[in-house]
Amino acid sequence: MGSVTATAPVTARATAGPDSSPLDPLLPVNTDGDAYPDEDPDGPGGLIADDDDDNDGFLDITEIDCLTNSTDATDMPNDLDGDGICDALDPDMDGDGIANIAELGEPLGSDGWQCRY
């Protein structure tokens, strides 16, 4: 039985993740590891809250409106027709000029998605 003497060099690197500094409770959560924490920890002045926590290119408020995760860069709003309005908010999701309500037969949210026989 030989003893292991060589150890892999440990390189400390800041990586984007749920919290870029998970071992430092004094630092606020900063999902994307940029200069701005997810939440403003000190009120007006000082640190400024990030308006795009996961740096996926969609503002947090947009992701909330579009029902996607604002701290998960792999979860982004769908935009079927690419008009900049996510499907959740787009009255004409596929951009064919016919409103969803006309194509689907009933407004979303009235009865929700239901099987009709």
Using rule CB under 5 A, residue 90 touches Ca ion: yes
- Of the pair 19, 54, the CB lying nearest Ca ion is at 54
Part of the chain binding Ca ion (CB under 5 A), chosen from 1-9, 10-18, 50-58, 101-109 = 50-58
Using rule CB under 5 A, residue 77 touches Ca ion: no
Between the CA atoms of 22, 23, 24 and 30, what dihedral angle is there, to the nearest 10 degrees?
-10
List contacts with Ca ion (CB under 5 A).
30, 32, 34, 36, 50, 52, 54, 56, 58, 72, 75, 79, 81, 83, 85, 90
